[in-house]
Every structure is written in C-alpha cells, then in structure tokens.
Amino acid sequence: MTARTQKLFVKSYGCQMNVYDADRMADALGAEGFSTTQSADDADVIVLNTCHIREKAAEKVYSELGRIRKAAQEAGRRPIVAVAGCVAQAEGAEILKRSPIVDLVVGPQSYQNLPELIAKARAGERPVDTEFAVEKKFEALARPAMRPARAPAVSAFLTVQEGCDKFCTFCVVPYTRGAEVSRSVAQVLGEAERLAGSGVREITLLGQNVDAYHGEGPDGRPWTLARLLERLSEIDGIARLRYTTSHPRDFGDDLIAAHRDLPKLMPYLHLPVQSGSNRILKAMNRRHTGAEYVELIGRIREARPDLALSGDFIVGFPGETDADFEDTMAIVEAADYAASFTFKYSPRPGTPAAGRAGQVPDEVMSERLARLQARISERQAAFQRSLVGRRLEVLVERAGRHPGQMGGRSPYLIPVQIESCDAAPGDLVEVDVTGAGANSLFAAPAGGARGAIPQLAEATA
Ligand code: SAH
Ligand code: SF4
Ligand code: F3S
C-alpha cells in the first residue's frame, strides 16, 4: 500500500440496506487507511453496490461500468473496480466475463473480506466472494472504524435483520440475501449507543422482513422487534425510532401495542401489500388476503390513529386480469395511503413467477401503472394538504437552500422546509405547517413566523 491515503468511492443502488452496507464497507476499509470520496474520478477503489430487484436496476450496473471504464481511460487512471450488492450475489463470475474492467465481485455477506479481496485484485487476481455467512459479516463489521469514514448524521440506519425466508414468487431477495438472520440484542444496542454517542437522533431499524426480527436477548431468549424497540427507546439522545420493511404476516400484536405505547416510535409505517386481488396474492405466495391486510391496518390505526401508511404495489404480475387490478385500486381506497411505491412486474431469473403463463403485455402494465400512480399521487397530495395548518415536531437535519431556512423531517417522514429557523441539525423543533409542495411541506417556527415564505409559490393545490 502506498503512503498516501487511499480513496474509496461507493455508489449504492436499491434499498436502504445497501446504504447501510456502504457505510460498513467504508468502516472496513477505513481501518485499512482508506477515506471516502464523493467522486469516482479521484478514487483508488470504486465499488458499485448494486440492486437486482428489477431488470432495470440490475442493468444499470453495466452502463455505469461502461462510464467508469471510459472515464478511467480518458484520465489515464486505473482504479480497482468492485461490484458488490445483490447483482454480485446473483451473477457472480458472470460479471467478470461480461465486463473486463471489473477486478472483483463481492456479495452482501462478505464485505468484511474487502481488504483482502482488494489486495488480491492488486496482485492481478479477479476474486469472486459470494459466500453466505451473515453472522460473520455482522461480527466483523460491528467493530467501529478506526477513524470514522463519514461525518455523523442526524438520522442513521441500523440493520437488525437480514435475509428473507418468504419466497414471494416474484422476488430475488431470498436468493441474493439468503435466509433470515437476526442480530443479537446486545449487538444492536451496542451499535445504537455508539450512534447516539456520535450525535445521531433518529435510528431506522432495517431488515428485509424487519418485523420477523427474533434476535437473541440478554436473557438468552429471542426478542421480538417490539421488545427491541422498547429497549432502544430507553437510550438517551435517541429521539426517534423507525423500522422498515415489514411483512403483514409477521406483524405481531406487541408491535401494534408499541405504536400506542412508545412515544419515540414514529407514526409512519411502510407495509407493502403488492396487490389487492386474493388470487394474485396467492400466486405471489404472500400468504394473506386483501381483507386480512385491511383489517391489520385497522388494528394498527386503533393503536395509533395518526399513522401515515405507505405501501408497495406490483402491477402486471403473471395472470393479473382487469378484475384483479380493480381489486388493487380498491385496496388503495380501503387502506388510505399517505404514500406508495408502484412497480411494473419484472420477471427475474430463477424466481418461480418468471416462467409462468399469462405474462402481461407491457402496454397493459403501463396503463395500469399510470392509473394506480395517478390515484396514489392524488391521495398523497391530499394527505400532505391535510397537514397544512397543523403543528408538528420536526427533526432538523440540515441547512436549507435559502438563508435562514432549515430542512428536516416530520414524524410522517415527509421533508419539511422551515423558514426563519435558528435551530441546528439534531434539534427537535415545533413548527406550524404553512404549505404543501409536491414532496415536502413548508413551515414556520411554532408561535409566529418571521419573514416571507417564498416556496409557497411552488406549492401544488
Ligand atoms: N421485503 C419487502 C420488499 C422488498 S423488495 C416486502 O416483503 O414487502 C421492494 C419492493 O420491490 C417489493 O415490495 C415489491 O413491490 C418490489 N418488487 C420486488 N420484486 C419485484 C419484481 N420482480 N418486479 C417488480 N417489482 C418487484
Ligand atoms: Fe421479497 Fe417477499 Fe421476502 Fe419481501 S417478503 S423480500 S417481497 S420474498
Ligand atoms: Fe435490491 Fe438487494 Fe435491496 S435486490 S432492493 S439491493 S436487498
């Protein structure tokens, strides 16, 4: 290794777990003398932290590799190029064949091996490490970096559970992330306390099926997510807790009660349903009906009436008829979402649904997607408008674009721009919501705004 500090650039795609993993890569390499850079141009090691969930996501990596190759050639540089994440796990050595610029391939469970893999790549090998050893990953990566690779943020992710045993018939995650594994309560607490100590005020617990969490507690027994949240809410300094993503099948009564009993647990829940049709839900292997989902939402709202709900939807799953799609439109009304993510079904190699009869033509998917998105946007706008005039608590995250403006988040996760705000990042402030834009709220410090609110012009009706 040269005397000068090595620079690491990680570009993450896909879900929040990849964002969390990117920081763990920086930790692992930080201990080896690396520091992170925000640009691929001056990096000694470039990691593409990839996502395999839909075809478009997976193909992005190859266009990005092309760009990296071209930029490196033009600059006369030759950084080490690594492909990590779920495409690495799914395609392994295929990536080396398809893209000669790639020096190493590392799956999501092997990031603790990055220093060694980089050394091998420098020696001219092209290593591929796609072993499944989640426990080892967490043991090795739980150690904090010798020097923090990034300035501490106000809000942080913390992976508590990884992998999935649900095998929804459209989904690659059980293959790319392996079986469900929960980290121990002690490990999670240790990490949460370290985060709190570095100034983090909000922690979002991550898991592909986070409500299936069953990590070993200090009593030697498995703890549920609800119990873990209760324990975490005792940490001074941590003001807010969130978790994502949950599966309706694993949503326990104690987690419902936690939404009533834990003031630090924010009233926002991402609970994907995918479809409103019982026939399609069955074909997807979701193992619940539309009515059961709506009933569950009802019980959670009894515990926390102001809960903002978001969901994921897939349109055009094989065999989806117009009638099935109408059932999806109906569940959008019944569940009353504050936000949602909608996707066209993408057949993924190796998943059961990919080879099924009744693949839905792309034009039909596009039409259904447009209708669903339009309805969801209307409801989202209505939800945001319903907050105008309300007093909310905002966790301030950063300075805004204009002088005196600060940006933060509402309890409902929606970004809030606060005018004439003298609070600092990490502060909790009371605000009065003055307007709603497409994706954010505008607000003034509670008890009287000072100055004009220029963003009101952008606000959508
Ligand atoms: N564990 C979460 C979701 C993980 S993937 C859950 O069980 O809900 C995130 C979202 O991507 C899914 O909720 C689904 O809506 C979408 N998705 C997954 N596979 C897909 C596919 N093959 N085509 C289109 N969308 C897909
Ligand atoms: Fe994929 Fe289903 Fe597991 Fe979610 S629950 S990660 S959609 S298999
Ligand atoms: Fe994508 Fe892997 Fe996350 S496939 S959504 S990065 S678990």
- What's residue 321's pLDDT? 98
User: pLDDT band at 132, cuts 50/70/90?
Assistant: confident
Which two three-digit tokens encode residue 277?
């049709």
Average pLDDT over residues 342-353: 97
User: What Å distances lie between residue 410 and 8, 176, 304, 337, CA to CA?
Assistant: 33, 33, 16, 16
- What's residue 5's pLDDT? 87
- What's residue 289's pLDDT? 98
Q: What is the pTM for the complete model shown?
A: 0.93
Q: What is the mean pLDDT of the chain?
A: 92
Average pLDDT over residues 219-237: 97
177 Cα nearest atom in ligand 3: 7
Cα of 269 to ligand 3 centre, how many Å? 19
Q: Is 172 in the pocket of ligand 2 (CB under 6 A)?
A: no
What residue ranges line ligand 3, CB within 6 angstroms?
14-15, 17-18, 51-53, 85-86, 172-173, 176-177
Q: Is 52 in the pocket of ligand 2 (CB under 6 A)?
A: no
Average pLDDT over residues 96-122: 96
If you write DSSP's letter for every residue of 292-358 in order, what string do you get?
HHHHHHHHHHHH-TT-EEEEEEEE--TT--HHHHHHHHHHHHHHT-SEEEEEE----TTSGGGG-S-
Cis peptide before 245 (omega within 30 of 0): yes
Ligand showing the shortest atom-to-Cα distance for residue 17: 3
Average pLDDT over residues 191-205: 96
- What's residue 246's pLDDT? 97
Share above pLDDT 90 across residues of the chain, in percent, rounded to a whole number: 89
Average pLDDT over residues 348-356: 96
User: pLDDT band at 235, cuts 50/70/90?
Assistant: very high
Cα of 58 to ligand 3 centre, how many Å? 10
User: pLDDT band at 460, cuts 50/70/90?
Assistant: very low
- What's residue 123's pLDDT? 96
- What's residue 151's pLDDT? 57
| pLDDT of 456 strictly over 60 | no
- What's residue 143's pLDDT? 60
274 Cα nearest atom in ligand 2: 7
User: pLDDT band at 461, cuts 50/70/90?
Assistant: very low
- What's residue 454's pLDDT? 40
Cα of 201 to ligand 3 centre, how many Å? 26
| CA 361/CA 430 separation, integer angstroms | 49
User: pLDDT band at 455, cuts 50/70/90?
Assistant: very low
The domain limits of the chain are 6-133, 391-460
Q: Which fold has domain 391-460?
A: OB fold (Dihydrolipoamide Acetyltransferase, E2P) (2.40.50)
| pLDDT of 1 strictly over 50 | no
- Which tens digits make up the pLDDT trace of 34-63? 999 999 999 999 999 999 999 999 999 999
Cα of 164 to ligand 2 centre, how many Å? 6
Within 10 angstroms of residue 289's Cβ, the number of other Cβ atoms is: 15
- What's residue 342's pLDDT? 97
Ligand showing the shortest atom-to-Cα distance for residue 285: 2
Q: Is 271 in the pocket of ligand 2 (CB under 6 A)?
A: no
Average pLDDT over residues 295-314: 98
If you write DSSP's letter for every residue of 215-265 in order, what string do you get?
PBPTTSSBPPHHHHHHHHTTSTT--EEEEE---GGG--HHHHHHHHH-TTB
Within 10 angstroms of residue 10's Cβ, the number of other Cβ atoms is: 25
Cα of 314 to ligand 1 centre, how many Å? 8
Average pLDDT over residues 130-145: 70
Q: Helix 322-335 crosses helix 290-303 at what angle (to 10 degrees)? A: 10
Average pLDDT over residues 129-158: 72
- What's residue 232's pLDDT? 98
Q: Is 168 in the pocket of ligand 2 (CB under 6 A)?
A: yes
User: pLDDT band at 449, cuts 50/70/90?
Assistant: very low
Average pLDDT over residues 191-207: 96
Cα of 274 to ligand 1 centre, how many Å? 8
What residue ranges line ligand 1, CB within 6 angstroms?
53-54, 170-171, 173, 208-209, 245, 247, 272, 274, 312, 314, 343, 345-346, 348
Cα of 280 to ligand 2 centre, how many Å? 15
- Which tens digits make up the pLDDT trace of 321-345? 999 999 999 999 999 999 999 999 9
| pLDDT of 355 strictly over 70 | yes
| pLDDT of 233 strictly over 60 | yes
Q: Is 209 in the pocket of ligand 2 (CB under 6 A)?
A: yes
172 Cα nearest atom in ligand 3: 4
Which two three-digit tokens encode residue 16?
């929040």
User: pLDDT band at 458, cuts 50/70/90?
Assistant: very low
| Cross-strand bridge partners of residue 416 | 408, 441
- What's residue 14's pLDDT? 96
Ligand showing the shortest atom-to-Cα distance for residue 58: 3
Burial class (CB in 10 A: 0-12, 13-18, 19+), 97: exposed
Angle at 67 between CA 64 and CA 71, to 5 degrees: 140
| CA 218/CA 222 separation, integer angstroms | 9
| pLDDT of 434 strictly over 90 | yes
- Which tens digits make up the pLDDT trace of 57-94? 999 999 999 999 999 999 999 999 999 999 999 999 99
| pLDDT of 114 strictly over 70 | yes
- Which tens digits make up the pLDDT trace of 4-30? 789 999 999 999 999 999 999 999 999
| pLDDT of 275 strictly over 60 | yes
Average pLDDT over residues 368-380: 96
Domain 6-133: assigned CATH number: 3.40.50.12160
**Between residues 422 and 137, the one the model is more confident about:** 422
- What's residue 450's pLDDT? 44
Cα of 53 to ligand 1 centre, how many Å? 7
